[in-house]
Amino acid sequence: MSESRFYLRVAEDFLTQARKALNLGITSLSALSLVLAVKNSALSIISCFKPPLVMEDVVIELKFLNEEHLSAFENLRQRLEEFTEISQYIIYTYLNVLMHGDFATGKTPSEVLSLEELSDLVEISEKAVRIAEWLIEVLHCSQQ
């Protein structure tokens, strides 16, 4: 199994865990699992080009890859830009508040998102994983 395929498999697992947690009403665990699904999807794309560092800022790395490697391939570049925008939104907006709560509003991680916001996050995260899957297939990273 390639590294890209492995990280995508981890992302799919986090999506499954997010759905299960949501069905059980554990919203903070569901939301955090969605963020981790997107991050692992990003790692699957990054690993097509280089070994990813799990602690790196994946959004910055995705932007770099788009500029350095995909500028000549418009369709791929557009899909990677779309994925990067989704990743940036999800990771930068939700990761810290889902781990530490929101001090400014006094909300704990389980209080940060409403069910409607969480449903939207599920949809957006699933879209990100599907884009990552498409990218690693088109780039032939899943066979490495």
**In which residue are the tokens 């932007």 written?**
63
What integer best gives the mean pLDDT of the chain?
A: 90
Residues 77 and 93: their CA atoms lie apart, in Å, by 23
The verdict on residue 144 lying in a domain is no
Residue 34: half-sphere exposure toward Cβ, Cα within 13 Å: 30
The verdict on residue 143 lying in a domain is no
The verdict on residue 124 lying in a domain is yes
CATH number of the domain where residue 117 is located: 1.20.120.330
User: Can you tell me the mean pLDDT for 21-38?
Assistant: 93
**pLDDT range class, residue 144, cuts 50, 70, 90:** low
Number of domains in the chain: 1
pLDDT tens profile 57-81:
999 999 988 888 776 677 888 999 9
Q: pTM of this prediction?
A: 0.89
For residue 96, which phi and psi values (nearest 5 degrees)? -65, -40
**In which residue are the tokens 């009403």 written?**
25
Domain extent, residue 130, equals: 3-138
pLDDT tens profile 98-131:
989 999 999 998 899 988 899 999 999 999 999 9
Structural tokens at position 76: 């791929």
